[in-house]
Chain A
Amino acid sequence: MTAPALRVEGLAVPFGEQAGLTGVAFEVGPAERLAVVGGSGAGKTTLLRAIAGLSPVGAGRVVIGGHDVTALPAERRDAVYLHQSPLLFPHLTAGENVAFPLRVRRVPQAEIVARVRDALAAVRLDGFAARAPRTLSGGQRHRVALARAVVSRPAVLLLDEPLSALDPALREEVRESLLALQRAYRPALVMVTHDLDDAGLLGDRIGVLLGGRLAQLARPEELFARPATLAVARLLGIPNVLPGIVRPGNRFESPLGTVALHGALAGVAVGPAVAVFRPDAAAPAPDGPLSARVTAVRHRARETTILATGAAVQVELPTGSDGVPAMGTLVRFGLRATAVSVFPGD
């Protein structure tokens, strides 16, 4: 079995008066991409800075490439930390910025020239080596910063909200560059973000930081379909939290009707509970066991959904094959049990 590129063991990082990070543990394999999501103040940046050696660690270990680097300074960790906004050195050209990690490692000049050329080509900036940072666009600066981060082939690349300051067009451009570089240079990548789309698109796995603890670590499809706790589900923005009662026989009785949830109820005791599901877990069907009336329509860039209400409970559902139903229409639907999480409730 391949040794992990990064192993974090029982990491605790104090943060002023607050608890900071507590007992964070995970591994990232070589060339694997881990996205870490969490709300503001969850400790995302603190986690990256602690791994990078830029923030003091209270307890635990950081192991990179099999070596315990917890006590090593940032420059000796083989992990590059990239800030949210690209911080190019303004007195150096784009090429010299990319050459920086090689120069401080005393790499021979001929090799520097070749590696800088390759790194700039990998982010489609051939011919930009002589340009001053102030003459580059925002997207180009991001791409130069990415090329500079990987040119020394670090074992771990740590990205702090790499796309959040960008408009949608630039975001796509930088995302593509990031993926291209990661394929070419193959560092283990840990990226923190508050954007679930970025996490889903870029992460092989996603970790959820809640209150300084790693609440769940799973593949995107598993995480979005089956959040481990109600708090994780809320953080993931899963809109439907349906209260009800678990009855014997894998039945879930809700104000919208009773539905069989084979598999989803494993480990959940009979009694009050909540069922959590994304709109795409609901399947409109004329004979569906659940029903509610359409009260609003939500148009988004990628999809349109409907809000349906019954017995003072509101759920968000897909529109179905017949298009957007009229207001007040009674819609019936079932739930895919594999895409529903049920948690004990009051």
Chain B
Amino acid sequence: MTRAGIVRSALIGLLTAGLAVPLALLVAASMADRWFWPALTPDRLTRDAWGSLLAGGRLGGAAATSVALAAATAVLATGLALPLGRALARLRGWRRGLGAAAAFLPIAVPPIALATGLQLSLLSMGLGGSFAGVLLAHTVPALGYASLYFLGLFALLDPRIEDEARSLGAPRVEVWRRVLIPMLRRPIAEALALAFLVSWAQVPLTLLIGGGAVRTLPVEVLAFVRAGQDRYAATGALLLLAPGIAALALGLSARRAEAAPL
């Protein structure tokens, strides 16, 4: 093996270990009944955290809320971002820059600042502590990410294809239904996944807008960590990893399928 090959293998090994070791520790912690420093392994294993999750306990309820919230956020943000990204891509010069900056703002500002600002508006609308309020709050950063994603996509998409469809007799709705949405099926799926993950991982917005009434998975994990309930915190953390890993796996397999010869 060449020197460059050895370095490459070492780097890949380091990266794999960097992912695998914390994951293994989390798995162990999620089943550790007693695990105190300096023991390398838990004294005893238990499945009660996983059992509680499956039985629909606190973790299970939080996971269900998170799934519902993230799914609704994904649909809402993607549905809005698709025409918004297209409209931004059709702008020219400073107008496009301004539009892109507006979409980027919710991502660029510190989440706590965004949460504080949103709290003031949503509370005044009577949406504080409600699922709908948290959904709207999650949609703001998710919409930012998804809009920027679609802006880049539509900037690359030849706008003449829409002209062609219209000239062939398709009204605007049909252009979306029969041309744009089917053509962008995969990017739409990716935007849905992106928006889902943005909501799935959201803590400051949920805490401030939900006011403790909307208990999502990351909020529960945070509570378990603060209470020193490591087993439940680790179980929740592993669950938090699942959608991200699933999205990556699906993306990789889709790319592999696309790259396959005809």
A interface residue numbers (CB < 8 A to B): 49, 52-54, 73-75, 77, 79-83, 87, 89-92, 100-101, 103-105, 132, 135, 148-149, 152, 158
A100 and B170 form a contact (CB under 8 A): yes
A83 and B170 form a contact (CB under 8 A): no
**Chain B residue with Cβ nearest A89:** B179
A83 contacts which of B164, B178, B183 (Cβ < 8 Å)? B164
- Pairs of residues from A and B, 3 with the lowest C-beta to C-beta distance, nearest first: A81-B167, A74-B166, A104-B170
Q: Enumerate chain B residues within 8 angstroms of A100, measured Cβ to Cβ.
A: 165, 168, 170, 178
B214 shortest CB reach to chain A, Å: 39
**Chain B residue with Cβ nearest A104:** B170
Q: Is B171 an interface residue (CB 8 A)?
A: yes
Given contacts A87-B161, A91-B185, A135-B262, contact A80 B178 (CB under 8 A): no
A81 and B178 form a contact (CB under 8 A): no
Chain B 165-184 near chain A by CB (<8 Å), digits 1 or 0: 11111110010001100110
B167 contacts which of A52, A89, A132, A135 (Cβ < 8 Å)? A52
Q: Enumerate chain B residues within 8 angstroms of A73, measured Cβ to Cβ.
A: 166, 171
CA distance A73 to B169 in the complex (A): 10
A133 shortest CB reach to chain B, Å: 12
A135 shortest CB reach to chain B, Å: 6
CA distance A82 to B164 in the complex (A): 7
A6 shortest CB reach to chain B, Å: 14
B112 shortest CB reach to chain A, Å: 43
Q: Enumerate chain B residues within 8 angstroms of A49, measured Cβ to Cβ.
A: 163
A90 and B167 form a contact (CB under 8 A): no
A104 and B164 form a contact (CB under 8 A): no
B170 and A81 form a contact (CB under 8 A): no
B164 and A87 form a contact (CB under 8 A): yes
**Chain B residue with Cβ nearest A135:** B262
CA distance A223 to B156 in the complex (A): 42
A87 and B158 form a contact (CB under 8 A): yes
Q: How large is the interface on B (under 10, 10 to 19, 20 to 34, 35 or more residues)?
A: 10 to 19
Given contacts A90-B183, A100-B178, A104-B171, contact A75 B166 (CB under 8 A): yes
User: Which of A87, A105, A135 has the largest number of chain B CB atoms within 10 A?
Assistant: A87
A105 contacts which of B163, B169, B179, B262 (Cβ < 8 Å)? B169
A244 shortest CB reach to chain B, Å: 49
CA distance A14 to B133 in the complex (A): 48
Q: Enumerate chain A residues within 8 angstroms of B171, measured Cβ to Cβ.
A: 73, 75, 104
User: Which of B164, B171, B179, B183 has the largest number of chain A CB atoms within 10 A?
Assistant: B164
B29 shortest CB reach to chain A, Å: 46
B93 shortest CB reach to chain A, Å: 13
Q: Enumerate chain B residues within 8 angstroms of A53, measured Cβ to Cβ.
A: 166-167
Q: Is B3 an interface residue (CB 8 A)?
A: no
A80 and B166 form a contact (CB under 8 A): no
CA distance A54 to B222 in the complex (A): 55
A83 and B160 form a contact (CB under 8 A): yes
Q: Enumerate chain B residues within 8 angstroms of A77, measured Cβ to Cβ.
A: 167
A81 and B163 form a contact (CB under 8 A): yes
**Chain B residue with Cβ nearest A79:** B167
B216 shortest CB reach to chain A, Å: 36
Q: Enumerate chain A residues within 8 angstroms of B170, measured Cβ to Cβ.
A: 75, 100-101, 104
B179 and A74 form a contact (CB under 8 A): no
Q: List 11 A-B contacts (CB under 8 A).
A: A49-B163, A75-B171, A79-B167, A80-B168, A87-B158, A87-B160, A89-B179, A91-B182, A103-B178, A104-B170, A135-B262
B174 contacts which of A81, A87, A104, A148 (Cβ < 8 Å)? A104
**Chain B residue with Cβ nearest A81:** B167
A54 and B163 form a contact (CB under 8 A): yes
Q: Enumerate chain B residues within 8 angstroms of A158, measured Cβ to Cβ.
A: 167
Q: Enumerate chain B residues within 8 angstroms of A79, measured Cβ to Cβ.
A: 167
B167 and A74 form a contact (CB under 8 A): yes
User: Given A54-B167, A91-B182, 8 other A-B contacts at CB below 8 A?
Assistant: A75-B166, A75-B169, A79-B167, A90-B183, A101-B169, A105-B169, A135-B262, A149-B168
**Chain B residue with Cβ nearest A90:** B183
CA distance A100 to B164 in the complex (A): 11
User: Which of B169, B171, B185 has the largest number of chain A CB atoms within 10 A?
Assistant: B169
Q: Enumerate chain A residues within 8 angstroms of B174, measured Cβ to Cβ.
A: 104
B183 and A104 form a contact (CB under 8 A): no
CA distance A103 to B167 in the complex (A): 14
Chain B 142-171 near chain A by CB (<8 Å), digits 1 or 0: 000000000000000010110111111111
Given contacts A54-B163, A81-B163, A87-B160, contact A152 B183 (CB under 8 A): no
CA distance A104 to B179 in the complex (A): 11
Q: Enumerate chain A residues within 8 angstroms of B160, measured Cβ to Cβ.
A: 83, 87
CA distance A87 to B183 in the complex (A): 13
